[in-house]
Structure 1
């Protein structure tokens, strides 16, 4: 019986804060460029050079009002109440303002006219920035709320962001992984802009913000333009041509000879040449920025503009420092992104990010695990999106770039066809649609999360939680696809079940469950590492399912080695839970128990209910079954149930508890409670459309064990047929486990008197066995077929087949199979072979406790073989000894087994002519069978046939006819017409009727 067990100057909205800083400018906050805002305003004004210094611009008037406010009259920009100046950028001045209408704090950017030559040109450029940003709605882009004009100038109202730009953030030493993580977030923002036709054209660290909660946001789209419509970005000049501002400022060129567009250090070759900037130009600027941030120097000469331009145009990228910790593959990615020819760079920003995330040194440990973690911890915008921005949620298919896309699908096909040519197409027909559905469901859920946040239906916190959950699922999918492309024959058997068991996505939409989880750490860096490690644990979970235990344990040990991160105890509990699962899969029971203990008590201490529930449930299974301590597991079952009742909303988690609780009950000799628990699990999963999953399959398998123990043969056969069908649906027709499931069904059919049907099924499966890579599967299937052939009457073929299997794999050919060989030899009349097998079985019987169910099973085959060979007397003593060992037991299985031993004794004694003793044994067996077995069980027919034979021997024709008629009726209700015991019962019935006529 096997029981299954059940993550530069400031730009838009920057607020460098110090302790005591508030919205009214209390305390002594300092701007990013070093100004002290409490310094006398005349000194501050005196440091602002420029020919327009004496002009009475609107921006200067607003600045004066902000610095010298009149207490009786607030300074206003449009409808917004100015609180204080935040700083100034290349195009304008940014103020902290309050929006009375929507009751929120915002940032407002107004034209900084002193630094441009043409008022109209600057206004148009600011409008262009507003239009560009208003078209974008993404967690890594600053959101625009409003745009307007006041007192002859233009302003843009946008979300208020606390944090610093990446240039300032990098002044604190950071690991290369953290830097890459921050830039990939920014890259996602650029990718989102590119998807709606927006090119930034001035990407640099100063235009990227790192918020206090770890979110990276791209801003300052002031040089952006729609990518549609080609034209030259020539040298800029300010030209007051008197034209009116059009409604499509984003499409206008605004490029005139005279001024470089963008910041030279980050500009692409095409920008240096004055050509139109495109998405490849943003790639170039992104790679320059990341190179500089990782290596601490520019990739190009910086001593003069001429030298810089020459290096850029020629593609002379400086090599990285010799002792740099940054892996070489990262440099190769950046080098490609800085190629002078746009066509030689990556095809898209998504492709660049995918290349950056994929570490070729260790496919199972992807940079994305770190990259995504930072994005997760602060992926949501700090301000509400406009309703109209819902349509701008970028499609999330791009976020699966390099994970599941046509190229990866083709790689999976090629790998499986090379590994398993005969079965690959059938396997792919099952697993590829499952992965496709999973990936599509992930995309739809990611899109829906964005829309829900954009529409104001879900908060930033919920969006963060959902995105964190989805990124963990994405990591699992990535690892699963990697496993499919790198699998070897040893792991091939596990892939179908692993694909079917990918972690459920619906949990990422369960707002109540996500919100009730323990909050992440407050520290942004630790929070990012926790998310990184949770993604690593998700990957380890897939490796557990694909039997890559060593790699899975390496991932978990890497998590536990980060002392600062696992000081956050929820992560510690999750890591030990995963380690315990891997250890249990590896058969290391002591390590598994230690891991479950650590996970359980850590989770209980901090109230981490999901981990406490699952750790307690799996620990109970481990105690009850592999460790054979059912009493301890049963004693702890109330506590296990209490933990799991708190998580009933999680169908899979609670279903696993019910599965494991049933095992505990069964091992504690409470079959009725076990059956009730498993029936609850089956009902729960069916009601929630989760029965057709690996968990549901395990529930059915365990229920089938219980039905077989209860001798409910018809229900057992029906359920095992369902198991075969479900396993094929989940894992394909040729998976290794199919051999076991087919064998189980064959046994159930034999118990119903249908060996012909069983033989047809096994032969059909066996015909394709050469296409199954698993040696174990071929071993099991061959022996199952031999057993069915023996039961069908072809004992010679069965014996020959078993002999071949034994010689090929003698270590796996255990006593149970020797007992089959003994019976087959007896049926085939091969006495030497029978005696050889008998010696092995006899030795095994001597070593086993007579109360052990394995002892009884061996003994029944042993005694039957002796009777078939004509050694009835030799079979009596062992049967009597076995029955004596079970005497006094009130266990239902023991009582039924004792009755079967009595049946065997009765049959032997009929052959020996000991009719009185035979009749006593047979009536004793009949009384038990009638009390404990279903009315159509074939054991009843067998004992009635034996009683009919006794009556015939005693010349009691009427009694014989009665017994044999009852036996025939039972046989015909379930058995095949040519079933040998049925044929024999009918022959005896005909004889009894003939005797009755003669009498």
Structure 2
């Protein structure tokens, strides 16, 4: 049997999105006044700094929402004829009693919304989808460079079409009629953010609205886009309160070093690549000067940091009613911006100082001195939403402890609640609105799987949120009632705040989900950090205390919440975004003087770098984390860091001996926190993996068994880490030949994983294929094949290449075990073509056997060459791959009847196992002796063959279960050999013993069992 296993545990796998409460897109309703209008700005693409391209906006800032109707779509000409449809519409206006409405493609024009420096926006009716839309078309007379302007409009459409976010206007379609290019977008009824702010809003309301806009920008940055002209006029507040960012006409990808166009913009490229081209020739500045970043003022390329600067200018202006820079002249404004001279807020402003500090950082002249991302800026702007809650709880508790019953009575009489329901703290994090937003996002990216996915995640998120609220309420009541000290209450709320940040980031990730990472997100929900730890008073008080200085303590807490978000980014395969968050923590020199925070930040950085493939850098980060943790006595950080560092050494860096040598130190650091189920469980999983890499399967199995037992005892087995540990046990059992136990383990893995990942998660294919190998070892190959075929049908729509590869490999292995060489070869070749980069030597070895069984010599030789490629005197002969390749080569040659040639690779495979007492090596020696005995018997070398077969049986009996079918295989071979030599009684005895073993586990059609029955009949 070809041994297949997944040995590497997924250690703390899988970024934080940006911020909590993105608003849900409610979608369109009917045309006649019930439109679920989504924001669209009346101006067109943002104006350039040139006076001839100044933006024109209705004075009120409000979108004209005159609906019209289907019968009378437009009865007056537009207010400007300087647009692409101008001449056509003016001509038709000469005949007001026309019977045909004005149309643009399939859209019926209802009226003019507005126009600006580059385009004109019309309200239109979409006949096909029965909805009102906003259609932008391009000016002709106003814009001098027709081709460049057309490209800008197309670029805007391409930029916006890349994005799907509740705070970004959605592009429906890009089209062209004659030589007129248009972009159809969702229609919104509302006002510009600029006009909305002018209506004397409270600062909290203004900030909340800007946070929505910021989430739109953050989503654009995650998609690789930079807006480059954000300002209050380029965002809309709909009548439903939702904010939309629009006019991405100046956007371009920021993740490449793009050069400028040559003179005349002569470079010719496909239109699909327009988004990746610069918009103007070198030296021309784009954007509105008052909101431009210093780098844009200097003629440099706009980046995500430039958007952050523009956002902060806009928010500053809206909160304080003044500009952050001098407005005496353009030159003065430019000088202030370039030199980072930010005006202090006006005296008496109700806006907290913390908001101004965040804005001042976002307005730094050097891009690198700003926040690491929009996500980090938004987190700073909205941090500490529970200040009032804590202050009330602390005041109530102080009154109780001091015996101030009169104070409490007064508070009670005034309706001032000591411990208000903490559910309000999850507003915008997990509530009906956020659930609806997540549902809409999942349906958009995976419509066929949405029902299944939402049925899995919504109950889990709901339970997590409800438990969080209960723990928060319990903590407050215990504190207010004098049953819990203030410092314990602070520790509990600190822990719960970090858990809330993780929940918030997870929900954000779902709201912005893509089909490619939806499966990671599903498992992230199941792997949310346990809430029970926040109720464990003994563990909380035993941990290293927070800083004594209250200001530093607040900053450390804020950064820990940021690191909790970064952990979600890690789990959802958004490692680069997570690294940006970590860097924002490390950039705070004052906060990182508290070494435990420094250790936590470097630990998270190393974990993210492992996910990002930066193994060498990850080792440096883990080293920094380990020294900081040991220096500060941060036992949990030291334990986790040592485990992950050991795994990195053994696997990604290929230094298993070094990892093995450091295992005692890793174990010592983890024993200090052995009561922590999660941390110690991860250590046990890693220790098992390190032992397995060194070939010490017994020690590996013992570690994994202990890890599973501890997780099960504490109700943490139904998590991604718990499932991986259980999977590793199954793999270890498979390798040592305990197929019944392995099958039971994999069945349990499938059952548990289905509860939180569903039946169609990509990992299901891996779990089923491993169960199929176990079933094959039990003689139930047809059952294994049936399960794999059922899985193939169920996951036929999956675009995951690894899933396809795994299914085809499983099918091929089962068919090979049934001696169906042609079918096995077909599936294995299909697997290689499905994912050639994942098709390893081990898979080529299996294909070699299938090709030989199918009598396809050329395919066998090609597979042999691929399997043997790279194996030389430097190859680690202790590894599974070395052993399996030569065993497969020998079996393939024997299948082709080249028996004498088959002996050499089989003997070579056995030579590296001589003298080893490891049970795995003993079992492998038995399998090789069985194979060699069969070959020798076919060669007529009966004495040598019998010695080999008896040796095989002895090896099997030493390490395998009495019910293991490999013992029966050896007995059957001895019986056939005895019968060939005329020893009928002995042959019958061997056949009888073999049949009893087969009958215990194998299916009736199992070929060796049928052979044993036939041998018994012949012997009698």
What range describes the TM-score normalised by the shorter chain of this pair?
A: 0.5 to 0.7
- Post-superposition offset of 1:745: 0.8
Counterpart of 2:343 in structure 1 is none
SS in 1 for 2:921: helix
Task: Identify which of 502, 506, 520 aligns with 2:532.
Answer: 506
Cα deviation 1:391-410 (Å, max 9, x = unaligned) = 65222222112211222222
The answer to whether the 8 A contact 2:372-2:584 is kept is no
- Post-superposition offset of 1:676: 2.9
The answer to whether the 8 A contact 1:363-1:482 is kept is no
The answer to whether the 8 A contact 1:577-1:615 is kept is yes
- Post-superposition offset of 1:666: 3.9
Counterpart of 2:383 in structure 1 is 372
Counterpart of 1:950 in structure 2 is 977
Counterpart of 1:719 in structure 2 is 745
SS in 2 for 1:327: helix
SS in 1 for 2:529: coil
SS in 2 for 1:886: coil
The answer to whether the 8 A contact 1:826-1:834 is kept is yes
Distance in 2 (alpha carbons) for counterparts of 1:748 and 1:524: 58
Counterpart of 2:600 in structure 1 is 574
Structure 1: gaps spanning 5 or more residues = 7-179, 182-281, 295-318, 337-352, 994-999
Distance in 1 (alpha carbons) for counterparts of 2:783 and 2:205: 71
1:916 lines up with 2:943 in the alignment: yes
The answer to whether the 8 A contact 1:560-1:572 is kept is yes
Q: TM-score, normalised by structure 1?
A: 0.63
Task: Identify which of 974, 978, 981 aligns with 2:1001.
Answer: 974
1:777 lines up with 2:803 in the alignment: yes
Cα deviation 1:458-480 (Å, max 9, x = unaligned) = 23322222222211111111111
Q: Comparing both chains, which one has the higher relative contact order based on Cα–Cα distances under 8 Å and sequence gaps of 6 or more?
A: 2
1:441 lines up with 2:441 in the alignment: no
The answer to whether the 8 A contact 2:478-2:484 is kept is yes
- Post-superposition offset of 1:670: 4.4
1:477 lines up with 2:503 in the alignment: yes
Counterpart of 2:775 in structure 1 is 749
- Post-superposition offset of 1:668: 4.9
Task: Identify which of 800, 805, 824 aligns with 2:831.
Answer: 805
Counterpart of 2:987 in structure 1 is 960
The answer to whether the 8 A contact 2:418-2:480 is kept is no
Counterpart of 1:858 in structure 2 is 885
Counterpart of 1:234 in structure 2 is none
- Post-superposition offset of 1:919: 0.8
1:935 lines up with 2:962 in the alignment: yes
Cα deviation 1:948-994 (Å, max 9, x = unaligned) = 1110110100010011111111111111110112112222222222x
Query: In 2 relative to 1, CA 759–451 (structure 1 residues): closer, same or farther, beyond 3 Å?
Result: same
Q: 5 Å matches for 1:163-182? A: none
- Post-superposition offset of 1:441: 1.2
SS in 2 for 1:887: coil
Task: Identify which of 8, 12, 29 aligns with 1:3.
Answer: 8
The answer to whether the 8 A contact 1:681-1:699 is kept is yes
Task: Identify which of 502, 516, 521 aligns with 2:542.
Answer: 516
Counterpart of 1:555 in structure 2 is 581
Q: TM-score, normalised by structure 2?
A: 0.62
Distance in 1 (alpha carbons) for counterparts of 2:203 and 2:652: 55
Distance in 2 (alpha carbons) for counterparts of 1:290 and 1:487: 25
1:584 lines up with 2:595 in the alignment: no
Q: 5 Å matches for 1:686-725? A: 686-725=712-751
Distance in 2 (alpha carbons) for counterparts of 1:357 and 1:447: 31
Counterpart of 1:596 in structure 2 is 622
Distance in 2 (alpha carbons) for counterparts of 1:910 and 1:528: 78
Distance in 2 (alpha carbons) for counterparts of 1:570 and 1:524: 16
SS in 2 for 1:365: helix
Task: Identify which of 466, 486, 491 aligns with 1:465.
Answer: 491
Task: Identify which of 543, 561, 571 aligns with 1:535.
Answer: 561
1:871 lines up with 2:898 in the alignment: yes
Query: In 2 relative to 1, CA 332–992 (structure 1 residues): closer, same or farther, beyond 3 Å?
Result: farther
The answer to whether the 8 A contact 2:498-2:564 is kept is yes
Counterpart of 1:658 in structure 2 is 684
SS in 2 for 1:556: helix
Distance in 2 (alpha carbons) for counterparts of 1:772 and 1:406: 31
- Post-superposition offset of 1:672: 3.7
SS in 1 for 2:538: helix
Distance in 2 (alpha carbons) for counterparts of 1:514 and 1:287: 34
The answer to whether the 8 A contact 1:647-1:654 is kept is yes
Distance in 2 (alpha carbons) for counterparts of 1:601 and 1:681: 27
Query: In 2 relative to 1, CA 669–805 (structure 1 residues): closer, same or farther, beyond 3 Å?
Result: closer
The answer to whether the 8 A contact 1:936-1:973 is kept is yes
- Post-superposition offset of 1:601: 1.4
Q: 5 Å matches for 1:99-248? A: none
The answer to whether the 8 A contact 1:599-1:612 is kept is yes
Task: Identify which of 903, 914, 924 aligns with 1:897.
Answer: 924
Query: In 2 relative to 1, CA 644–845 (structure 1 residues): closer, same or farther, beyond 3 Å?
Result: closer
1:884 lines up with 2:889 in the alignment: no
Cα deviation 1:829-856 (Å, max 9, x = unaligned) = 3344334333433446667554432122
- Post-superposition offset of 1:613: 1.8
Query: In 2 relative to 1, CA 285–419 (structure 1 residues): closer, same or farther, beyond 3 Å?
Result: closer
Distance in 2 (alpha carbons) for counterparts of 1:816 and 1:557: 40
1:622 lines up with 2:622 in the alignment: no
Counterpart of 1:16 in structure 2 is none
1:407 lines up with 2:412 in the alignment: no
The answer to whether the 8 A contact 1:364-1:482 is kept is no
Counterpart of 1:139 in structure 2 is none
Counterpart of 1:421 in structure 2 is 447
Query: In 2 relative to 1, CA 519–375 (structure 1 residues): closer, same or farther, beyond 3 Å?
Result: farther
Distance in 1 (alpha carbons) for counterparts of 2:314 and 2:436: 24
